[in-house]
C-alpha cells in the first residue's frame, strides 16, 4: 500500500496549492466481531428509532413480523448513511478559531467494549444478515453515568440523531468535533459553551445500542476518525499543536 495522500486547496481567486503528507502507510489489522441479533433487541430498538427518524419513511412493523428484521437492516445500513451525511452537514457549523486545548479526555473508568473500525458481522437465527464497520469507541461504566465534554467547545447538536439516539456533538473549532451517542438526557443546549470535563449528559442505550454505554467518536471535517490519537497528549503536542505553531 503506497497510495500518495495529498491535501488540496483553492481560494476564491482560483489560486491552487497541493501538498503531500503521510509518506508511509502502515497496514493494521482490524478487529472483527460477531453480533447476534434476537427479537427482543430488534423489537426494542426498531420502533423507537423509526419514530424518531421520519427521513426513513418507514412505519413501525408488527412485532414478530419478518418486516421487523428488514426494518432493522434498513436502519443499520440506509439510516447509518443518512446520519453520516447529517454529521457532515453539522461540520459546516464549525468556527474558524481553535476552541480546544491539549488532549481530549476519554470517559473516566470506562471499559472499552468496541474500538474504531471494528468489522462487525450480524447474525439472525444463525444466518449472516449484515456487515458494518463501527466508526467509534464504545465505552461502558455502569448505568446512567455522567458524560463530560472531552474538550472545550460549543454544542452544535443536542437532539436525537438516528442510530446514535440522543446525541451531542461539540464543535471544538477548525473542523474538529466530538460526538457522544446513546445518551439518556442532555444537560446542555445547542449554542452553549462548554469547557473540558463539564457534564453534558448521562449514558443510556437510546438508538442502536445493545446496552448502556457511550458511543464516542472524534470528527474532522465531519468524518469519523480514531479518537485514540486525540486522547494521546504526545500525539496532540507533536502532530497538531507543534504543526499549528509552525504554520503561523
Helix, strand, coil % in the chain, rounded to nearest 5: 25, 35, 40
138 is a site residue for Zn ion (CB under 5 A): yes
> Taking CA 197 as the corner, what is the angle to CA 191 and CA 91, rounded to the nearest 5 degrees?
40
Which residue in 215, 217, 222, 227 binds Zn ion (CB under 5 A)? 215
Residue 118 lies near Zn ion (rule: CB under 5 A):
no
| Minimum distance, C-beta of residue 214 to Zn ion, in the bound complex (Å) | 8
Helix (H) or strand (E) holding 41: helix 39-52
The residues that bridge with 22 in the sheet, in sequence order, are none
Is residue 214 near Zn ion by the rule CB under 5 A?
no
Minimum separation from the CB atom of position 102 to Zn ion (A) = 25
Q: Give CA–CA dist 88/179, Å, rounded.
A: 12
* Residue placing its CB nearer to Zn ion in the complex, 202 or 215: 215
User: How many residues bind to Zn ion according to rule CB under 5 A?
Assistant: 3
Q: Which is nearer to Zn ion, 22 or 228 (by Cβ)?
A: 228
Of 200, 219, 187, the residue nearest 84 (C-alpha): 219
Q: Is there binding between residue 204 and Zn ion (CB under 5 A)?
A: no
Does residue 74 belong to the site contacting Zn ion (CB under 5 A)?
no
Assess 216 for contact with Zn ion (CB under 5 A). Answer: no
Give the C-alpha separation, 61 to 39, whole Å: 13
**Binding range to Zn ion, per CB under 5 A, among 60-68, 119-127, 211-219, 239-247:** 211-219
Distances (CA, A) of 147 to 17, 125, 189: 41, 35, 15
Site map (CB under 5 A) of Zn ion, residues 8-47, x = contact = ----------------------------------------
Q: What is the closest distance, in whole angstroms, from the C-beta atom of residue 112 to Zn ion in the complex? A: 11
d(CA 216, CA 135): 9
Residue 212, interface with Zn ion (CB under 5 A)? no
Q: Distance between CA 212 and CA 206 in Å, rounded?
A: 8
Task: Using CB under 5 A, list all residues that contact Zn ion.
Answer: 136, 138, 215
Amino acid at each position: 500500500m503506497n497510495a500518495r495522500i495529498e491535501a488540496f486547496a483553492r481560494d476564491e481567486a482560483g489560486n491552487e496549492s497541493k501538498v503531500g503528507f503521510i509518506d508511509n502507510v502502515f497496514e493494521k489489522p482490524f478487529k472483527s466481531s460477531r453480533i447476534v441479533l434476537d427479537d427482543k433487541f430488534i423489537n426494542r430498538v426498531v420502533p423507537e428509532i423509526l419514530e424518531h427518524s421520519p427521513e426513513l419513511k418507514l412505519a413501525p412493523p408488527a412485532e414478530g413480523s419478518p418486516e421487523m428484521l428488514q426494518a432493522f437492516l434498513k436502519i443499520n445500513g440506509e439510516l447509518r448513511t443518512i446520519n453520516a451525511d447529517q454529521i457532515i452537514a453539522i461540520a459546516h457549523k464549525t468556527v474558524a478559531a481553535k476552541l480546544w486545548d491539549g488532549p481530549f479526555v476519554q470517559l473516566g473508568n470506562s471499559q472499552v467494549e468496541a474500538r474504531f473500525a471494528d468489522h462487525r458481522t450480524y447474525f439472525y437465527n444463525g444466518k449472516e444478515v449484515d456487515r458494518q464497520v463501527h466508526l467509534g469507541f464504545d465505552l461502558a461504566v455502569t448505568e446512567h453515568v455522567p458524560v463530560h465534554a472531552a474538550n472545550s467547545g460549543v454544542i452544535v447538536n443536542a437532539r436525537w440523531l438516528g442510530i446514535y439516539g440522543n446525541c451531542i456533538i461539540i464543535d471544538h473549532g477548525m473542523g474538529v468535533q466530538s460526538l457522544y451517542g446513546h445518551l439518556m438526557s442532555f444537560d446542555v443546549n445547542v449554542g452553549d459553551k462548554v469547557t473540558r470535563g463539564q457534564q453534558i449528559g448521562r449514558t443510556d442505550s437510546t438508538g442502536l445500542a445493545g446496552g448502556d454505554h457511550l458511543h464516542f467518536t472524534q470528527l474532522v471535517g465531519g468524518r469519523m476518525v480514531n479518537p485514540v490519537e486525540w486522547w494521546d497528549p504526545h500525539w496532540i503536542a507533536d502532530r497538531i499543536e507543534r504543526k499549528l505553531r509552525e504554520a503561523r
